[in-house]
Amino acid sequence: MRISPINFSGPISAVSSSTSSAAKSSVSGSSNFGDLVKTSIEDIDDTQKQNDVSISGLVKKGIKEVNSLQSQADDLSVKLASGELEDVHEAMIAMQKAKLAFEFTVQVRNKIIEAYQEIMRMQV
């Protein structure tokens, strides 16, 4: 079975040609537009190089922050139990922050795993 190429000589080609001519007429000087696009892309590349942030870097940073909150809550709970800390509110707030940060991290992990599984189920 042979598939023939699609011919766009019908009403679709009229729409696409009128759209492209309208786009060309709205841009004053196509070479200037190309230069602007090129400059914009170079600006984006420069910004990305300055803010070189990767997904793995963000994940590591988030895990370190969660770990820091949990260790701070552990220290405060030990101090509270030993009587060194008189302010119970400070310890409870630190424990709740650590709990919420951990729950958020677990939910993000679950969503990432769910997205990965959905991608693996896709038929290519």
pLDDT in tens, 77-119: 999 999 998 889 999 999 999 999 999 999 999 999 999 999 9
Q: Bigger pLDDT: 63 or 28?
A: 63
Residue 87, CA atoms < 13 Å, CB-side half-sphere: 6
Could you tell me how many helices (H) and strands (E) the chain has, helices first? 4, 0
- What are the residues whose beta carbons fall under 8 Å from the beta carbon of 91, sequence distance 6 or more? 73, 76, 77, 79, 80, 85
pLDDT digits (tens, 9 = 90+) for 67-85: 999 999 999 999 999 999 8
Q: According to the model, what pLDDT value does residue 86 have?
A: 86
- N-to-C CA span, the chain: 22
Residue 61 and residue 55: Cα distance in Å, rounded?
10
